[in-house]
Structure 1
Amino acid sequence: MVIALENTRKWIKSRKGQQILICVGFAAIPLFLLFLFTYLPFGEMVKFSFYKMKYSTPVDKRVFVGWKNYIDVFNRKDCFGALKLSVYYCVGAIIQLILSLYLATILSFKVRGGNLFKGLMFFPYLISGIAIGFIFKFFYTRGFVFDTMLQWIGLNVENLPYWLKDQRINNWSLVATSVWRYFGQNMVLFVGAIMSVDAELYEAAQLDGANKFQQFKNIILPSIKTIVTLNIILSITGSLSAFEQPYVITDGANGTGTYFVVMNEIAHTSQKVGLASAMAVILLLIIFACTILQKLFFKYIFRDAESEEESYEAKRARIKAQKAAAKAEKKALRQAKVGN
């Protein structure tokens, strides 16, 4: 026992022991806070999903209902049916990513006023989502900003739809708000990734006669595949959990109540905590499934990216060799002239 304590003291005083203790000490507090504010509440939420209860229901008065809350999520039209609205936001996310990737590709090269344009496009992301909701609530109101702008180009306000009431178009109006807010963030991420691509790869492609589209397809896209995959995963998961725009702009009225809006109403207005918890667990499982499917999909799409990158690496090496040979030839010519 004494020998073990002595060995422990020596280990603590050693350099390796102190490094481990410092790492554990710095990691302990963040891990404790992560457990306290993330994993513990999540575990409680999963437990609540098996009970019929309100926030104020005492522990001994909670009624265990098993899987009933999960079954109700699929049976109630206002619960699982609200996920259909995520299709609108998924379409908007695809448009948002295509637009941001297109602009990022252009702005990655020298463009006059490019930095100003990037700043202006990124600015909406810095604004609070609640503030953006109030801005667009008045923007789409009948006779206000958007209708006035359309009247400037000769359209009659009486022939225009109600952007937030007409169920044929109101969800698209909310999706446009979401695209306007987030595409600048995606664009900046794409710009950073594209600018990290080695410029000599473009030279190698030009020697092979590749046009701009072929350079984008064979150099830029494979080189930034990690950022593309990340942005798509974030956009799709964000589409499934859309909340701020429909909650602030329309309060979920006229068929705009997304899954999160309905879950918020069930949890805080109807006080059906068990049902709302079951909705949250189901949404988490759906997001996990979508993330895994997307990763498998992009792994298949970019399956040839590594071989393409290797071929361009070989071309880059060839260019360097050609440049070195040209320099050596020039140096030899200069030395020959000096000798003569």
Structure 2
Amino acid sequence: MSASRTAAAGSRRGKRPPAARLPAEPAAGRAGRQRWYAPWTYLAAPLVLLVLFTYIPVVNMIGYSFTDWDGLSPDRNYVGLRNYVDLFTRPRLFQVFAVSLFYLAGAMVQIVVALYFATVLSFDVRLRNLFKGILFFPYLVNGVAIGFVFLYFFQPGGTLDSLLGVFGVGPRLWLGDPDLVNTSLASVSVWRFMGLNLVLFIGAIQSIPPELYEAAELDGANRWQQFRHIIVPGIKPIISLSVILAVSGALAVFEIPFIMTGGSNNTETFVIQTIKLAFNFDKVGLASAAAVVLLLVVLLVTWLQRLLVPDERGELS
């Protein structure tokens, strides 16, 4: 009763009773609602670039693969699956995949060598930072420059022949002999891209807790046993990633054979052949179909590898 009389008295004096206040919203919830868009603000620029320079060109390429466009004419006649039928009825268009086997073998050698150096340089070795820089440096050099450098390295009477001449080995046609040319080009890829795998492996090895090495040394484990039972299981996802990059890279080799041989002398890769179809023979539609086939092959190989070798993080204890 007293409360009602007070309210009535206040209303007679021209004053309204105070309104009931809702409980204050927690600051964390308010900030969460206000900042839900913050991650998308940072992701906006890379997402826009990804869509503009990756997904839209891929969609356009798929569209071109169903036309007979020559790359210059404004007319693009729809031909359906004729380009794909043309591809699969020309065995020579797929024979170039045999050249990729040389680069795939070189990539496997590259992974093994990079893993060896990464393991050695992850432990306490004198001048290890210097050696890391020396091994990683080739990856920083432009591929065109590397191609021209190795043209002089492999030429008759060049650097390689001079070095081998010290051991009594005669000169060879490293880029002219069909039995040697693809091996020579694949060795250049090993030299150039080993630094990338080296950095990946070193980063993964250094993420392994050092207590595991100390416990293994107390148990009498040598370096090989530590490598086999600690390092390999601990960096298994990175090894799997390197294999995927090696397979996709072997299928899409372009720079080194194009600069050094132009695809001649049985060194033509699938990508070089696609470039020639588009720019030498003005068959952009057929070249687009070839690019779509290469994309599907890379995706299929990656999926099969994921299926056969699941990406499981090694359990270290």
Structure 1 length-normalised TM: 0.80
Residue in structure 1 matching 2:52, options 25, 30, 36: 36
Distance (whole Å) between structure 1 residues aligned to residue 89 and residue 158 of structure 2: 40
Quick one: structure 1 residues 51 and 202, their matched pair in 2 at CA, closer, same or farther if it must change by over 3 Å?
Answer: same
Partner of 1:327: none
Secondary structure at 1:222's aligned position in 2?
helix
Per-residue deviation at 1:125? 0.5
Instruction: Verify: 1:214 aligned to 2:225, yes or no.
Output: yes
Q: How does 1:1-340 map to 2 (within 5 A)?
A: 15-58=31-74, 61-157=75-171, 160=172, 162-299=173-310, 305-306=314-315, 309=316, 313=317
Cα shift readout 1:204-243 (whole Å, capped 9, x = no counterpart): 2234443322221111111111211111111111111000
What CA deviation, in whole Å up to 9, does each residue of 1:139-186 have, x standing for no partner? 1111121112211222233xx3x1111111100000000000011221
CA-CA distance at 1:21 after TM superposition? 4.2
Q: Deviation of residue 107 (structure 1)?
A: 1.1
- Matches of 1:273 and 1:178, distance apart in 2: 29
**Does the residue aligned with 1:177 lie in a helix, a strand or coil?**
helix
CA-CA distance at 1:124 after TM superposition: 0.5
2:146 counterpart letter in structure 1: I
Q: Does the 8 Å contact 1:46/1:277 carry over to 2?
A: yes
1:191 shift after superposition: 1.4
In 2, are the aligned partners of 1:79 and 1:263 still within 8 Å (CA)? no
Q: Secondary structure at 2:179's aligned position in 1?
A: coil
- Contact 1:79-1:259 at 8 Å conserved across structures: yes
CA distance in 1, matches of 2:208, 2:45: 38
Per the alignment, residue 321 of structure 1 pairs with none
Change (3 A) 1:217 1:251: same
Amino acid at match of 1:279: A
CA change 1:207–1:183 in 2 (3 A) is: same
Deviates more, 1:244-253 or 1:135-144: 135-144
Cα deviation per residue 1:66-125 (whole Å; 9 max; x = unaligned)? Answer: 112112222224422111111111100000000110111111111122211111111110
Structure 2, unaligned runs of 5 or more:
1-29
User: By how many angstroms is 1:25 displaced?
Assistant: 4.2
Task: Deviation per CA, 1:235-284: give whole Å up to 9, x if none.
Answer: 11111100000000000000001111111111111110111101111111
Residue identity matched to 1:69: N
Give the TM-score taking structure 2 as reference length: 0.85
Conservation of the 8 A alpha-carbon contact between 1:241 and 1:259: yes
C-alpha deviation, 1:35, in angstroms? 1.8
Give, in whole Å, the separation in 2 of the partners of 1:57 and 1:297.
46
User: CA shift at 1:22, angstroms?
Assistant: 4.2
SS at 2:290's partner residue?
helix
Distance 1:66 1:98, change over 3 A: same
State the alpha-carbon separation in 1 of the partners of residues 257 and 239 from structure 2.
Answer: 27
Say which SS state the counterpart of residue 277 (structure 1) adopts: helix
Give the structure with higher Rg (CA). Answer: 2
Q: Does the 8 A contact of 1:167 with 1:254 survive in 2? A: yes
Secondary structure at 1:52's aligned position in 2?
Answer: coil
Q: CA deviation at 1:30?
A: 3.3
**C-alpha spacing 1:215/1:21, structure 2 compared with 1 (3 Å):** closer
Residue identity matched to 1:128: N
Aligned partners of 1:27, 1:207: CA distance in 2, in Å?
Answer: 47
CA contact (8 A) 1:190 1:227 kept: yes
